[in-house]
Amino acid sequence: MFAAAMPTGLFGRSLIIIVAPMILLQTVVAFVFMERHWQSVTDRLSAAVVRDIAGLVDVIETYPQDTDFDTIKRIARERFELQMSISPLEDLPAPRSKPFFSILDTALSEQITRQIGKPFWIDTVGNSDLLQIRIKLENQVLKLFVRRNQAYASNTHIFLLWMVGASIVLLAIAIIFLRNQIRPIQRLAEAAERFGKGQPVPEDFRPRGAQEVKRATISFLEMRDRIERALEQRTAMLAGVSHDLRTVLTRFRLQLALVPHNNEVEALTNDVEDMQGMLQGYLDFAQGDTGEEAKDVNVQDLLSRFQTEAETLGKEFTVKWTGSSDAHVRPSAVFRLLSNLVSNGFRHADKIEIRGRGQGKWLQLEVHDNGPGIPWEKHDEVFKPFVRLDEARNQDESGTGLGLAITQDIVHSHGGEISLDDSDLGGLCVTVRLPA
């Protein structure tokens, strides 16, 4: 439960690393301050006030013949800053409810009990600047009004406010600092994601931030350059091989065209056509969809192109779509993806049904058919290059076994997902999810 409650982002976790010790430190400081300073000061102030009151009580009890107590009242007012009055003997008011947290009430009660030892009643509740104390003597009741700050460290909250205010300022500085440190990491992650999807890295992307982040950025740029060089070399090599072999195949076709037509010549011509198709498949697999820029495409418009092919082949082809069908993708690559899936359906089934829907930032496409399907244990295997299953769908027109491998590469290069499942039509269901 604790792990689930923790933030998953680096910014949130870094902020906790800063905030948690700060809160812990301030809690300890506040506790020590309350326990050692605030309470200690309040105890001393309360003891001093009660000491003055105890002196007045001693004088009153020592000289009871002074019925007006004018001199004592003057001394209490001028020397002790206490407003004193004496009333005839009466019962003290009922004790008031004590506040849940009151250092003053506790300290004042303890000091009166220890220094005076007579029945008393105090009123410390509320925000009044005056405290009321009543002490029951033998023949009268002593009533006193004391300023709250004489018995209580009332300005202590300023320390707490300063501590909280300083914490807020430090937290704001930490947030600004962390955002500046996290931003280069976020840009690096964005650049890596764009590169993984075959999109160009932003032109202003360069090493920034802390030394470790700069090193990671430099390593990423160097890796990108090496991958691009490797892809260019592979594509150039296969293009050269394809060109040379096509030249030889073209000579074969010309020579076969000059030979009188018979069954053997027709078989050789078909073999040459198959070889040309294989070469094109290899080249398409090597090139992938590199070099093509992403554009806004309506996927339904791409699917409508297969309607004529379905009518020519005598296949039942339907498209059902809900929501938006617009996506920012590479048009040629996505059309090749759809062509591979639909062509496989045409080859192995009589009924093909496309079900698509827009899901916010994602586009989901399901290709259903009523063909023989693919066994569960071979769902992962058919995506491997050059794998050909007689009962499966990984045979493109040239028989190279690259159809679903190319499809999977296109989906992954867009940052999407592809999976196989059984269709409710009785055959195969290919599910493709692409970012919109």
Residue 218: what pLDDT?
A: 92
Q: Is the pLDDT of residue 400 over 70?
A: no
In a domain, 327, yes or no: yes
Residue 289: what pLDDT?
A: 56
- More confident position, 391 or 77: 77
> Cβ distance 131 to 151 under 8 Å?
yes
Residue 182: what pLDDT?
A: 85
In a domain, 323, yes or no: yes
- For residue range 230-241, what is the model confidence (pLDDT) as tens digits? 877 777 777 777
For residue 145, give the nearest of 82, 191, 103, 94 by alpha carbon: 82
CA separation for the pair 83, 234 (Å, rounded): 100
In a domain, 30, yes or no: yes
Enclosing domain of residue 144: 2-152
Q: How many domains does the chain have?
A: 2
> Cβ distance 335 to 302 under 8 Å?
yes
What Å distances lie between residue 265 and 276, 354, 399, CA to CA? Answer: 17, 41, 21
In a domain, 404, yes or no: yes
The tokens of 427 are what?
């055959």
- More confident position, 248 or 366: 366
For the chain, give the percent of residues with pLDDT over 90: 10
Q: Is the pLDDT of residue 126 over 80?
A: no
CA separation for the pair 357, 299 (Å, rounded): 10
In a domain, 312, yes or no: yes
In a domain, 119, yes or no: yes
Lowest-pLDDT range of 2-11, 133-142, 307-316, 424-433? 2-11
| CATH (domain of 418) | 3.30.565.10
Residue 51: what pLDDT?
A: 92
* Residue-wise DSSP of 127-188: S-SEEEEEEE-SSEEEEEEEEHHHHS-GGGHHHHHHHHHHHHHHHHHHHHHHHHHHHHHHHH
Residue 429: what pLDDT?
A: 92
Q: Is the pLDDT of residue 203 over 60?
A: yes
In a domain, 239, yes or no: no
Q: Is the pLDDT of residue 101 over 70?
A: no
pLDDT band at 391 (very low <50, low <70, confident <90, very high): very low
Largest CA distance in the chain: 153
The tokens of 373 are what?
């399907």
Q: How does DSSP classify residue 288? A: T
Residue 34: what pLDDT?
A: 67
CA separation for the pair 214, 207 (Å, rounded): 5
Q: How does DSSP classify residue 390? A: T
Q: Is the pLDDT of residue 398 over 50?
A: no
In a domain, 316, yes or no: yes
Q: Is the pLDDT of residue 368 over 90?
A: yes
What Å distances lie between residue 371 and 82, 117, 315, 374, CA to CA? Answer: 102, 101, 12, 9
User: Which of 152, 175, 198 marks a domain boundary?
Assistant: 152
The tokens of 400 are what?
């190279």
* Average per-residue pLDDT for the chain: 81
Instruction: Give the residue ranges of DSSP H helices in 259-321.
Output: 263-287, 299-304, 306-313
Per-residue pLDDT averaged across 307-328, rounded?
A: 88
Q: Is the pLDDT of residue 57 over 60?
A: yes
Residue 386: what pLDDT?
A: 65
Residue 395: what pLDDT?
A: 45
The tokens of 185 are what?
């990491």
Q: Is the pLDDT of residue 428 over 80?
A: yes
Q: For residue 88, give every residue at least 6 positions away whose Cβ sits within 8 Å of its Cβ, in sequence order, or none.
A: 140, 141
Q: For residue 251, give every residue at least 6 positions away whose Cβ sits within 8 Å of its Cβ, in sequence order, or none.
A: none
Residue 255: what pLDDT?
A: 83
| CATH (domain of 86) | 3.30.450
326: three-class secondary structure by DSSP? strand
User: Which of 152, 167, 193 marks a domain boundary?
Assistant: 152
Residue 397: what pLDDT?
A: 46
Per-residue pLDDT averaged across 269-273, rounded?
A: 80
For residue 404, give the nearest of 389, 417, 420, 393 by alpha carbon: 393
- For residue range 336-349, what is the model confidence (pLDDT) as tens digits? 889 888 988 888 88
Q: Is the pLDDT of residue 393 over 70?
A: no
User: Which of 152, 173, 194 marks a domain boundary?
Assistant: 152
**Length of the chain measured in residues:** 436
3-state secondary structure the chain: CHHHHCCCCHHHHHHHHHHHHHHHHHHHHHHHHHHHHHHHHHHHHHHHHHHHHHHHHHHHHHCCCCCCCHHHHHHHHHCCCCEEEEEECCCCCCCCCCCCCCHHHHHHHHHHHHHCCCCEEEECCCCCCEEEEEEECCCEEEEEEEEHHHHCCHHHHHHHHHHHHHHHHHHHHHHHHHHHHHHHHHHHHHHHHHHHCCCCCCCCCCCCCCHHHHHHHHHHHHHHHHHHHHHHHHHHHHHHHHHHHHHHHHHHHHHHHHCCCCHHHHHHHHHHHHHHHHHHHHHHHHHCCCCCCCEEEEHHHHHHCHHHHHHHHCCEEEEEEECCCEEEECHHHHHHHHHHHHHHHHHHCCEEEEEEEEECCEEEEEEEECCCCCCHHHCCHHHCCCCCCCCCCCCCCCCCCCHHHHHHHHHHHCCCEEEEEECCCCCEEEEEEEEC
Q: Is the pLDDT of residue 422 over 80?
A: yes
pLDDT band at 65 (very low <50, low <70, confident <90, very high): low
Q: Is the pLDDT of residue 61 over 70?
A: yes
